[in-house]
Amino acid sequence: MKSTLKPALFFDRDGVVNVSPGAGYVTSVEDFHLMPGIAEVLAWGKTKGFFLVLVTSQQGVGKGLMTQETLDAIHAHLQETLAREGASFDLIRSCTHLAGSCDCRKPSPQMILDAASILPINLAASALVGDHDRDIQMARNAGLAFAVRLASDNPVSETGDVLAHSILEVWTALKNWEAKQA
């Protein structure tokens, strides 16, 4: 009997899917700007049969810098924007808690494990793209097959399987990895 599980591509949000707000937070739809080229990467993932899952830490909600409703509006705007490109996410998982007050903050694999309890995801055949050490650690903790680290202003201790310096390099890394899986 053939397995019904499918691989997923997991993406961090700030600094990967959208332009990083720097040390602060994206607290409004007006401040949310897609990273150039990311819609094409996501659309490619869809055509290859991957689930697309956003896994994002949004502590700004826990700090009271924005409401859950504002975060939901930002994510609705993201999905609407990506849908026009054929690239919307199948699932969005957010940790909005303050550090030390939950079990889902990165590098915990909980957001990924939650996604796999909702969608039929084969974690051992899945990949993650992130721009922080905790993203790569989360991928490893969840048992993902592949992790791409997008270089950013964040210090790099965890490079993942590939250290990319642009969205084009991320896409190339994912294409090369996917071709080896086929």
Question: What are the chain's domains?
Answer: 8-181 (3.40.50.1000)
At 22, the pLDDT band (50, 70, 90 cuts) reads confident
- Indicate whether this model's pTM tops 0.85: yes
pLDDT tens for each residue of 90-135? 999 999 999 889 999 999 999 999 999 999 999 999 999 999 999 9
Q: What is the pLDDT of residue 163?
A: 97
Neighbours of 65 (CB within 10 A): 13
pLDDT for residue 19 is more than 90: yes
Q: 162 pairs with which residues across the strands?
A: 148
Catalytic residue numbers read 12, 14
pLDDT for residue 155 is more than 60: yes
At 1, the pLDDT band (50, 70, 90 cuts) reads very low
Kindly list the strands in the beta sheet with 146-150, ordered across the sheet, starting from the edge strand earlier in the chain: 91-95, 51-57, 8-11, 127-130, 146-150, 162-164
- Angstrom distance (rounded) from CA 2 to CA 8: 18
What is the pLDDT averaged over residues 32-54? Answer: 97
